[in-house]
Amino acid sequence: MSTLVHAGEKIIGFVNGNGSVYIFDPRGGPNYPGLTPTWYDLGPLPNFQGATEIALEIGDPTGNTFDVTVADANNDIFQDECQIDPAPIHACTGWVLHPRITPGVPPPP
């Protein structure tokens, strides 16, 4: 599990045992009329080998996107980028695979 704070709101990332990645967007209520706190399904990781970690971080300098990075038990790294503003979370780009990263060895071009 991983968290990211954006505009005072804590966003949570989670990978379940089947390789599906979920992001919780807590925005709702009077500060975000018409929105309800929601879990978003970013879809399954391709060729899931068991997640070992997930990380969330702000993407572009404007703070309008965030990046999701997941490492699996096979040392594959998967990345996705989603729009966070305007709310709700949307326009995720889809999983990009960076195959078999070996610690201390630069990834292939």
Domain boundaries defined on the chain: 2-98
**Taking the CA of residue 101 as centre, how many other CA atoms within 13 Å lie in the half-sphere pointing to its CB?**
14
Q: Mention every residue, 6+ apart, whose C-beta is less than 8 A from residue 24.
A: 11, 12, 13, 14, 37, 38, 39, 40
Look at 2 and 48; give whichever has higher pLDDT. 2
pLDDT at residue number 109:
58
The 8-class DSSP code of residue 29 comes to: G
CA 8, 71, 94, 48 dihedral sign is: negative
Mean pLDDT over 69-93 rounds to 87
- Give pLDDT, residue 90: 84
The confidence band for 25, taking pLDDT boundaries of 50, 70 and 90, is: very high
pLDDT at 101: 63
DSSP state, residue 30: G
pLDDT greater than 60 at residue 26: yes
How far, CA to CA in Å, does 45 sit from each of 16, 42, 51, 98, 107? Answer: 10, 9, 9, 12, 20
Stated pTM of the model: 0.82
